[in-house]
């Protein structure tokens, strides 16, 4: 019997050949055991603990590309924001919020739900941190303004309140967990203000920092939101 027949015989044993094949296969197997065991152990170790870090983050980012883009610049059609260059602490906190359902936790929030489902794929130890590190290291894309009609001058007065946490330059403040607003798409900022106001974001009793933002959205009507977002665009 040649090697080929033997290999085929192992899965589709024909009449009369059975015993020889079993014995041959047993010999082949016993010789391969150490290799097989090593391969199995190696694969198990990989599955359990991919080495965390920026290289792992880059590999994971492939799964983010369809919505956030290869350069992390976002995609308005998919309601996916620009994320390239956001601070690591903020990306990590938001991914954790999506996983916990503090974002994307209500049935009407279809775009939040889209991201929440995605966040659940980061389920191996260190993956969430690794992808946050990679995203934070990407060059910011500075998306162009897409909205019209906001009165930036009127928005400037409103922004004085926002500046207390997000900074007069809109670059954010880690000490109060407030993200940068400059460098973000205007349509996304506006959508998030509406989400805070509707209680789709910042309303969970355990989302401490989200709760500090919500009252600021509650005090704005639609026009005031459009105006303050128009002003933020002038800070870019
Ligand atoms: C199926 C499309 C899709 C994929 C894939 C996806 N996202 Fe998102 N992501 C979104 C959408 C939509 C939002 C906005 C959600 C909202 O409005 O609450 C979002 C929001 C975010 C935010 C919040 C940004 C901010 O300024 O608050 C982060 C961070 C983020 N995504 C990271 C990732 C990472 C990292 C991956 C890959 C592991 C990923 N996303 C994959 C669609 C996606
Ligand atoms: C008391 C501090 C505080 C003030 C004042 C404040 N914010 Fe925030 N803001 C936050 C925090 C904290 C977050 C992050 C919330 C979270 O983690 O979900 C946030 C998030 C946001 C986001 C979401 C950004 C993103 O990438 O998803 C927008 C938009 C925003 N703020 C706009 C404003 C505007 C406009 C004002 C003024 C009208 C304002 N904020 C005032 C603390 C504040």
Domain annotation for the chain: domains and CATH numbers = 3-48 (no CATH), 51-141 (1.10.760.10), 142-236 (1.10.760.10)
Dist. CA 78 → ligand 1 center (Å): 10
Q: Is 94 in the pocket of ligand 1 (CB under 6 A)?
A: yes
Dist. CA 113 → ligand 2 center (Å): 20
CA proximity to 150, closest of 222, 226, 234, 217: 226
Q: Is 176 in the pocket of ligand 2 (CB under 6 A)?
A: yes
Q: Is 178 in the pocket of ligand 2 (CB under 6 A)?
A: yes
Residue 184 has phi, psi (to 5 degrees) of: -105, 150
In this structure, how many other beta carbons lie within 10 angstroms of the beta carbon of residue 85? 17
Dist. CA 116 → ligand 2 center (Å): 20
* pLDDT tens across the length of the chain (236 residues): 344 434 343 333 334 343 444 444 444 444 554 444 444 444 545 556 799 999 999 999 999 999 999 999 999 999 999 999 999 999 999 999 999 999 999 999 999 999 999 999 999 999 999 999 999 999 999 999 999 999 999 999 999 999 999 999 999 999 999 999 999 999 999 999 999 999 999 999 999 999 999 999 999 999 999 999 999 999 97
Residue 202 has phi, psi (to 5 degrees) of: 80, 10
pLDDT at 48: 62
């Amino acid at each position: 019997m040649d090697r080929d027949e033997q290999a085929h015989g192992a899965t589709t044993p024909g009449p009369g050949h059975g015993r020889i094949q079993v014995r041959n296969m047993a010999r082949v197997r016993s010789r391969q055991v150490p290799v097989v065991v090593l391969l199995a152990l190696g694969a198990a170790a990989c599955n359990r603990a991919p080495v965390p870090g920026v290289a792992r983050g880059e590999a994971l980012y492939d799964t983010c590309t369809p919505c956030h883009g290869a350069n992390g610049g976002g995609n308005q059609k998919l309601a996916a924001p620009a994320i390239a260059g956001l601070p690591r602490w903020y990306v990590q906190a938001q991914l954790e919020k999506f996983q916990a359902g503090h974002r994307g936790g209500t049935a009407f929030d279809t775009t939040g739900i889209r991201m929440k489902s995605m966040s659940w794929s980061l389920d191996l130890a260190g993956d969430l941190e690794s992808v946050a590190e990679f995203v934070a290291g990407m060059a910011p894309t500075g998306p162009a303004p897409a909205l019209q009609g906001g009165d930036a001058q009127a928005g400037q007065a409103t922004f004085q309140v926002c500046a207390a946490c997000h900074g007069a330059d809109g670059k954010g403040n880690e000490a109060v967990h407030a993200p940068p607003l400059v460098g973000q798409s205007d349509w996304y900022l506006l959508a998030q203000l509406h989400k805070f106001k509707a209680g789709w974001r910042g309303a969970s009793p355990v989302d401490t920092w989200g709760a500090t933002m919500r009252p600021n959205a509650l005090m704005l009507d639609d026009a005031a939101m459009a105006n303050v977002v128009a002003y933020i665009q002038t800070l870019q």
